[in-house]
Structures are given as C-alpha cells and as structure tokens.
Amino acid sequence: MILVPHLNLFDSRGNLVSLGKKVGSGGEGDVYEIAPHRRDVLAKIYHKPLNGERQEKLRLMVNGCNDDLKEFAAWPLGLLHAGKNGPVCGFVMPRISDCEPIHKVYGPSHRKESFPNADWKFLVRTAKNLAAAFYIIHKYGYVIGDVNEGNILVTKKACVRLIDCDSFQVQTRDMIYHCEVGVAQFTPPELQKSKDFKMVRTQNHDNFGLAILIFLLLFMGRHPFSGVYKGKDDMPIERAIAEYRFAFGRSAALKAMALPPNSVGLSIVPSEISSLFELAFTESGLQSGGRPSANDWWNVLDALEKRLKKCPTESMHTHYTGLAICPWCNLENNSGILLFLSSDTISRIDVIAEWQKVLAIKAPGPIPEIKPRNYRCLPAPLSPETARALIFRKIRQAVAALLLIISAVLVMWVWSAGPGIYKTSDLACLVPAAIAGLILMYPGRDTAEKKHRKKEFEDARYSWRLWEKKWKAEAGNAEFAAQLGALTVLKGKYEAIEQEYKNALVTLQHTSREHQQKKFLENCFIDACTSPGLSENRKAALRSFGIETAADIVPYKIMSIPGFDSALTNELMNWRKQQESRFVFEEEKRVSASDIQGLIHTFQPKIRPVEREILIGIEKLHSIQQQIFKNRAKFQPIVEKSARDLAQAHANLSVFALTGKFF
Amino acid sequence: MSDDTMLDQQPLGPVTFAENPEPRCPCLLLLDTSGSMAGKPIAELNAGLRSFYEELQGDSLAVKRVEVALVSFGPVRIISEFNTADFFLDPTLEAEGDTPLGEAIIQGIDLVRKRKDEYRANGISFYRPWIFLITDGSPTDEWQRAAAAVREGESSKSFAFFAVGVQNADMSVLRQITVRQPLKLQGLRFREFFQWLSNSMKSASRSNPGDRILLSPPSGWSEI
C-alpha cells in the first residue's frame, strides 16, 4: 500500500528525514515519530501520491502557518518530499498528545470514564475554547469544512486541539482548495441535499457545526435535531437537519418535534445563548453570516462562565445562576442516571438516617376484621298470610314425606314378591309419590316471599364478596409489608456495596504499605551491607546474578548462586530483616487522593441507583401507609354495612329453612 | 437493579439513552443454528461472533452507536435484544433442530420494528437497520410470508436485508427472499466475515448513510 519509500524522505531544505515509530494510521496516510528525538512533532505520510492541487494546498498551509495556529492545531509546519526536491508526500505537524476526542467529553457515559472530574463548568470552558479555536481558523481565512466528533480533541484542562487540518478548505485570491469530506450530523441544512462535498464551504457552514458541538457539550450529548418526532415515518438526523427540525427550539412543536425524555431544555442556559441556538438551527441562519460566529459564541460563553454557581447539595453540579433549582439534581433524580461523578463520597445519602425515616413510618398493622357472621340478626317478620302459608307448606311437606315413604315401601314389597316379573298394575305403587310431587309443587302464598328473600340474599352476598376483596386489597397491610421487605433488600444491597468500597480502601492502604516497603528495600543497596561473610567478591557475584538491593534478597535466589551456602544465605536474610526494621511507614503518603478518587468513581455508579431506589422506596412506603389509613377510614363504614346487610339477608332467608354455607 | 423488589421498574432503555444519546446504528444477526451446523461450523460462528463484538468494543465511537441483536433459529430464539457491544454476553451457540428460517425473519423484523419505536420515543436518531441472515440449509417452514415482509421492508426503506449462504445453503431460496444479491461464504470464513462486518459497521456509524448503504466490497470471505 505505501508507495513512498521512507528511506528517501527529505524536508524542503533538502535534509534527509528519517522516521521513527508509527503512532497512528488513517484512511489517507500514516503518522510517524520523527527520528531522532523530536518529541514535539510528528510526520504524516500519505498512502498514495498527491495530485498537484493537493501538493499546492499543503504548500499554502505551510506558508500560512503561524504561532496562533500551531498552538492548538496539527497544522502543517513543513513539507516532506519523496526524494530530494521530489513531490510532496507528507508533512510535519505539531504533536498533539494527552487528549481525547470531543465525543468522549460530551457523552455522559464516556465522560465519567475519561474525564471523571469534569463538571458543567468544564463543559462550558470546553465550548468556549472550541469557539476560540474556530475563531482563529476563521480569522486567517480558512474553513474547517469537515467538522466532526473525531477530529476535535480535548485536553484534561478543557483545551481544544484540532487534527486532520490537511482537509481544511484553503482559499487564495483566485483558487479554492476544497474540503471534500464531511459528516452529516454536523453539516448544515443547505448542504444536506448534495451527495458529495465538492462545493465551496463557508464560515457560515462551519458555524453550524460549531453550534452543534456547543449544544452537545452543554446538553449532555443530546443532538439538537434528535427529538421525539410525532410523525409515523423515519426521521433520520440528516432529514431533521435539512427540514430545520430543531427539537429544543421555540418552533419545535410546529415542526412536530418534542424534547427527548430525560433531557434538559434550552431554559438551562441564559436567553443570550438560547437565542444564538435559535439563530443557528433555524431558517434564519441560512443567509450568509446568518449563524452566530465563533466570536459571538465566545462572548456569551465567557459571560456564562461568570454566572455559574455550585449546587448546594452536590458539589459536582454547576449551573447557571439564573436557575432556581439545580437542573442536574432534577435530571438525575428523575432519570436515575448519574450525569456527573462527585469527588468526595460514594454516596449522597446517609443510609442510617434514611432508615430511621423508614422505622418512623408506623406500620398499619393487620386489617380490622369485618365478617357477616359477627353480626347477629333476627329475621324480618313475615306478614300473617305468608306466615300461615309457611305453616301450611310445612304440613304439606310432612304429608308429602309420608306419601313418599309409602311409595317406597310399596315398591319394595312388589320387588320382594317376584323379582323379574312386573305387571302394569305395579305402577300403582308410584301413585303416592306422584301425589307427593303435586303437593310439593303447589304454589303457596309464601313462594313469592321466599323468592324475594333469596334474591336479596344473593345480591347481598355478591356485593359483600366485591367489598371484601376490595377491603383486603386496599386496606390490608400486604402492600406495606412487601414494600418494607423490598426496602430491606435495598438497604442490604447498599450496605454490601459500601462494605465492598471499604474493603477496597483497606486493600489500597495495605498494598500501599507493601509498595512503600518494597520501594524502601529497593534503595538498600548491598554495597552498604557490612556483614562479615560478604566480601566484595561475593557482592560482585550477587550483582552478576541480579541481586542488587535488599528487595532482591530471597532465599531461593541466593541458594542458587554458586558458593552461597545456607549460612551465608541466612546472613543475607538477617541483613534484609535489619533493613526492613528500619522501614518507617509514611502515613501521609499512605494513599493518594487520586487513588481514593479512582475508587470513589468506581463505586459511585454502583451505589447511586440503589440510593435512588431507597429514596423513592421510602417515599412510596410512606404513601402506601397513608393510603392504607385513608382507605380504612373511607371504606370501613360501607364494608361493615355490606357485611351487616348480608347477615340480615341470611337471617331473613333462614326462616324458609334453607340454611347452608352462605359466607 | 430492581428485579427482586416491588419498586417501580426503571426500563433500561430510556436511562441508557440519556446517558448515551448518540445516534444508533442497529444490526440484527439471524443465525442458523440448525443441526447441520454442528461441529466446526458452529465453533467458527461462535469465534467469529466473539471477535465481532471485540472489534466493536475496541472502537470508542462504534461502542456507543452500533447496537447488535442476535436471533438464532433451529428453533427460533432471541439470544440478545438490541444493545451496544459492551453489553455482549458471550452466548456460545449450539447446533440443534431444523431450519425455521421464515419464522426467524418474521420475529427478527418485529424486533427491529420495536427497537425503532423505542428510538423514536426517546428521541434517539438512528441509521437504517441492517439485517444479516446467515444460513447453511434450506428453510423447513413457510418462508414466502417472510420473503414478502423483507421485500416490503426494503421498499419502505425500513431496513436493509442481506443474506449469506454457508456451505450447502439453498441459494435459490435466498435469492427469492432478498432483493439484494445473496453472498456465499467461502468455506467457514466466519471470522473474516465478521471482521468485514465490524469494519462496515464502524464506518457506517461514523458517516450518515441515509439512503445509501456504505458497504465495503465483501472481499476475503465471499465467493463472489
């Protein structure tokens, strides 16, 4: 693939340049160190020979280089030629190190890993520095063109660095050297429709990408054109940009867009800033110079920096002073995610105090018992006619019973007389039974009343069953007990994580002691050993076996050296022990703050969701308890009435002697 | 977190979306795990899959943008719903059963549809999903309905569907299912295939393909 012979590489003055280690590789070329020992620069060598235009573009960039540009950009400092005075095949550029791509700064998940100490102030500063970088590029007449999340880097101090500068658009009085690449997410609406990037790029185009990046930085990695789209069709980001569907803007609703869940809106920034976003992301930005310039952004971000305050509850939360409540606490509490790691403790709550709150919530206790059988009711009196009809019915029932017995006796008599032989006259045995049937079916005056009472009873029983179910479900203490159980489990989880963190701290301290002691022993050279058996020759022998300090003295190593017997080994071991006894553990150097912070940052994301669930759980426990008490007070009279009604209906029906398991 | 508690469930989706609002690049793999894959083919498939995820995990932008779902068939099983590569649980697929290719496609398309709905509800932009069908046999169930669903999805640009035949795959059926030319895997070059796929996903997650499908030529693993 590489067509350029590296051995034949010259700078523009005709000096031979030799390359060192390859440090990077891209689509267009590879990046090398320059041997010997030029730590501050790197060389980019293209895979393929460059055409005349590309060579000329690089030449112009080298000529245009100045201190402003090379301070933060991997700007071409000098050309590299294939052969003495040969074609340009690469260039020398400032080495940019200790940086991360900007997407690791604005994306919360990566930021917590790569920039654990970064708060919103850091993000505002990064945005301001980004505006400064664009300002300088634009000031010297260049256009970045390919603004994207990968070629802008950020240092640990929020400084911005630009790489891949050879793709910038370079312009002279009569020639434009194009930037032929781009990434749609950062490409303005007016360029979205073209299939390639062969057009002239303007600073107004760059300013769209700048506004997108500033938005990503200030709004937790949310892209301004990624919202909840109300339509049914797909809304890819490039279409949303082309149609000016700024999801956070004033006219978002008109564009059928809404804020994504778990995001913050434009209200978290001062109005000077939100109006710049409106300008940048709507049709008004289209005309030349319509979008805020890098300078405009720098000014408002600089002003914002002076109006930041720390949240009183979480020191890592910084926000605009114009806000009454901390937007990050709000978002973290609502979403359950951790936006910023905090530096001092793993937990934001005091679990013991929280548990006191749990214990203070009085348990509702078992449900008050309401049962129909606890009500003793007398049957409602019957009207005289019904009462008489009932007595008559009882007499009829007795008669019918008698007739049935007669019938049965007759049947048995016929049966025993001659089994197998039946005559038609034998059917006469069944006549009393038939009469009994007629008597029983005779509709007395009581039937209507009985039917009525039975219906009442059934209605009452139906109603009672519903009330009983509701009573148990809504006034019972099962939900409270379950919630309390869940909280206990959560507390256990919380304490387990806390314990794990404490153990890790102890291990850290322990290893730091071992580490210190090892360091100490590594400084006790055997030259200083005055043990009588250890002659200079023997010391030399030890050294030739790699035993130079007390730390190296281990019995099995010594024994394997010719001429070292166990007596001599013991002597050496004793010397080592003497040195060990001189070792003093330096408390203050015990564990560094950054070590502890590293641990905190590991444990914070683990404990934070549990913490949140505990807080929500306590609130829920309290509301469950309140609800139970409220329901008990509310439902008790009506449930009792239902039970009493059923008991009464049962008593009423019992006069008709139809007892059974009714409730 | 709260599987064993009575607290309100916090669905993982929206939370992860807030933490990582990058646009998503979904890729569904429909993997044939029928009996005929037993032995070396399934072992190679597993190894290829593992390297695929490792490649994606090693790329700081792709790990935030590429979401992979796995559906195996023989019988149809959703091994993993759409998730970024850092959530990969090494599944070690086993070869068993027949080749219910039709059902796998239908379920897979459903999975893609659901994920797209989640993206929409959470205001997450996404690229056109890719579906890769990898099979070594011929379908043992009704596949015409699935083929119609694939054609429908392709014409409405809901997804891009690719079919890869392994060894004795019935290429004529694959040709009837996809609107794109099915590809034939050279021998058992699953690793090369997944290497190519992860590279394609990585570059797709960096650009904005829109209507265009930016696949590099399938060299190194395909017979064509």
Nearest-Cα residue of chain B relative to residue A333: B15
Do residues A552 and A464 both lie within one domain?
Answer: yes
Do residues A649 and A603 both lie within one domain?
Answer: yes
Contact with chain B for residue A382, Cβ under 8 A = no
Residue A252 has pLDDT above 90, yes or no: yes
How much is the average pLDDT of B7-21? 59
| Residues of chain B contacting residue A358, judged by C-beta atoms under 8 Å apart | none
Whole-angstrom distance, CA of residue A126 vs CA of residue B52: 34
Do residues A26 and A127 both lie within one domain?
Answer: no
Q: What is the CATH number of the domain that holds A113?
A: 1.10.510.10
Within a domain: A206: yes
Do residues A151 and A280 both lie within one domain?
Answer: yes
Contact with chain A for residue B3, Cβ under 8 A = no
Contact with chain A for residue B158, Cβ under 8 A = yes
Task: Find the helix or strand (DSSP H, E) in which A36 lies.
Answer: none
Closest CA to A457 of A655, A635, A638: A655
Of A184 and A303, more confident:
A303
Within a domain: A345: no
pLDDT score of A195: 77
Q: How many domains does chain A have?
A: 4
How much is the average pLDDT of B77-86? 84
Do residues A522 and A644 both lie within one domain?
Answer: yes
How much is the average pLDDT of A72-98? 93
pLDDT score of A318: 94
Within a domain: A520: yes
Choose one of A77, A94, A111: the last residue of a domain: A94
Whole-angstrom distance, CA of residue A373 vs CA of residue B171: 76
And the tokens for A104?
């690791």
> How long, in residues, is chain B?
224
Choose one of A50, A70, A94: the last residue of a domain: A94
How much is the average pLDDT of B134-141? 90
Within a domain: A247: yes
And the tokens for A144?
């970045």
User: A14-44, pLDDT tens digit by residue?
Assistant: 888 888 888 888 778 899 998 776 789 999 9
Interface test with A, best of B15, B22, B61, B84 (most A CBs within 10 A): B22
How much is the average pLDDT of A371-396? 86
Within a domain: A342: no
Active-site residue (options: A30, A146, A296, A552): A146
And the tokens for B82?
């759409």
Within a domain: A257: yes
pLDDT score of A589: 63
H helices present in A237-350, as ranges: 237-242, 271-281, 294-305, 327-335
Do residues A189 and A328 both lie within one domain?
Answer: yes
Q: Which domain holds residue A424?
A: 383-445
| Residues of chain A contacting residue B120, judged by C-beta atoms under 8 Å apart | 228-229, 235
Using a pLDDT cut of 90, give the percent of chain A over it.
42
Residue B137 has pLDDT above 80, yes or no: yes
Highest mean pLDDT: which range of A114-118, A342-346, A465-469, B28-32: B28-32
Nearest CB to B7: which of A104, A258, A616?
A616
User: A261-289, pLDDT tens digit by residue?
Assistant: 889 999 999 999 999 999 999 999 888 88
Do residues A421 and A534 both lie within one domain?
Answer: no
Do residues A258 and A131 both lie within one domain?
Answer: yes
Do residues A123 and A194 both lie within one domain?
Answer: yes
CB contact under 8 A, B5 and A337: no
Contact with chain A for residue B64, Cβ under 8 A = yes
What ipTM was predicted for this assembly? 0.76
Interface test with A, best of B8, B24, B59, B60 (most A CBs within 10 A): B60
pLDDT score of A421: 65
Choose one of A72, A94, A116: the last residue of a domain: A94
Whole-angstrom distance, CA of residue B1 vs CA of residue A623: 22
Within a domain: A113: yes
Do residues A211 and A301 both lie within one domain?
Answer: yes
Within a domain: A3: no
Nearest CB to A337: which of B8, B18, B157?
B18
Whole-angstrom distance, CA of residue A609 vs CA of residue A333: 10
B4 — pLDDT class (breaks 50, 70, 90): very low
Residue B2 has pLDDT above 60, yes or no: no
Is A234 part of the annotated catalytic residue set? no
And the tokens for A21?
């280690």
Do residues A168 and A39 both lie within one domain?
Answer: no
Contact with chain A for residue B172, Cβ under 8 A = no
* SS3 of residue A489 by DSSP: helix
Question: Mean pLDDT of all residues in chain A?
Answer: 87
Contact with chain A for residue B123, Cβ under 8 A = yes
And the tokens for A313?
């509850």
Do residues A367 and A264 both lie within one domain?
Answer: no
